[in-house]
Structure 1
Amino acid sequence: MTITIRTATAADAALLARLNDHVHALHVEHRPDLFTPSPDAAAHFEEQITAPAVTVFVAEAADGTPAGYAVARIVHWPGNTFAVPDDVVYLDQLSVSPDAARTGVGSALLDAVRAHGRSAGCRRLTTAVWHFNEPARAFYESAGLSPMNQQMDQLL
């Protein structure tokens, strides 16, 4: 599949919300205590697209069909007594349309995020993935990412 990656514009907010639907449904299914079933996702993406440290990428098939998106955030960590300063590109979200799964869309989006981070002077790419999302964890590990830490959770 030929894939084109472009930067999202405000006009893409509703499209991004639709591309996010299946991922959000997975989150709601596994963690209904944390995720609302009916978010105003378009408004969320409008905010993301205009945030200064955020770049949103859209993947399109050769015929222009939207195939996925990625949200990248540049994070400047000033460091402290225990940790060195660091600039990282944080992959906040990545979603591939189920119709485009396993066609290289996710890899193309990840490559765009990496290139964006490098051009911003970042030293590392980081992301978070839910423990229940085994396909995403497998994708990231096959793309060369490795576990960095593990967040734990308990309802009180």
Structure 2
Amino acid sequence: MNIRRANEKDIPRLIELLEQVLQIHADIRPDIFIPGTTKYTEDELKEMLKDDTKPVYVAADENDVCLGYAFCQLKQQPFSNNMVPFTSLFIDDLCVDAKTRGQHVGESLFEYVKGEAKRLGCYEVTLNVWAGNTSAEKFYEKMGLKTKERQMEYIL
């Protein structure tokens, strides 16, 4: 397996994987997510792949077929004037093809992202997980992540 920055030839495969992760979210929160859609369009992906502040990493097999991805964003802190300034690498989305889950693709991607965060001088790696996505929560806890903050909602 080779982990690298995504490029335009990966876009069709990224869209397939985005559909898979969207369906997971739609199953958990059908009140928010629209099945059969994706988070990003092909044009948005083309622009994103050019943006070094939003790196997209892919895990590719020996035929250079994308098995999973990690969409990331460099974020500057603080959120307010009472916080120390630092840079975070935020994992906006991480997905492994349903057919290859359990083969350590996600672990390899996450470890690669951690290495990139260190290389880029980041203080931390962060992400959000939807309540109800217990498999993702277990995976990230296994990878050593701890809850930093909780966002709560009251649906009207």
User: By the TM > 0.5 criterion, same fold?
Assistant: yes
Closer, same or farther in 2 for the Cα pair 1:30/1:80, shift >3 Å? closer
1:29 to 27, 30, 52: 27
Shift of 1:79: 5.6
Number of residue pairs matched by the alignment: 154
- Name stretches of at least 5 consecutive residues in structure 1 with no aligned partner: none
SS at match of 1:126: strand
Could you tell me whether the CA contact under 8 Å between 1:13 and 1:42 is conserved in 2?
Answer: no
- Name stretches of at least 5 consecutive residues in structure 2 with no aligned partner: none
Stretches (4+) displaced over 6 A: none
CA distance in 2, matches of 1:135, 1:18: 20
Closer, same or farther in 2 for the Cα pair 1:29/1:119, shift >3 Å? same
Could you tell me whether the CA contact under 8 Å between 2:23 and 2:36 is conserved in 1?
Answer: no
Closer, same or farther in 2 for the Cα pair 1:35/1:109, shift >3 Å? same
Matched, 1:135 2:144: no
The TM-score, its normalising length taken from structure 2, stands at: 0.89
Matching residue of 2:84? 84
- Which 10-residue stretch deviates more, 32-41 or 47-56? 32-41
The TM-score, its normalising length taken from structure 1, stands at: 0.89
- Which 10-residue stretch deviates more, 71-80 or 135-144? 71-80
- Which 10-residue stretch deviates more, 25-34 or 61-70? 61-70
Matching residue of 2:100? 100
Matching residue of 2:64? 64
Paired residue type of 1:144: G
CA distance in 2, matches of 1:79, 1:155: 25
Paired residue type of 2:140: Y
SS at match of 2:55: strand
Could you tell me whether the CA contact under 8 Å between 1:89 and 1:117 is conserved in 2?
Answer: yes
- Which 10-residue stretch deviates more, 24-33 or 144-153? 24-33
Paired residue type of 2:108: A
SS at match of 1:50: coil
Deviations 1:64-112 (A, max 9, x none): 3321011111111146432111111111110001111111100111112
Could you tell me whether the CA contact under 8 Å between 1:5 and 1:60 is conserved in 2?
Answer: yes
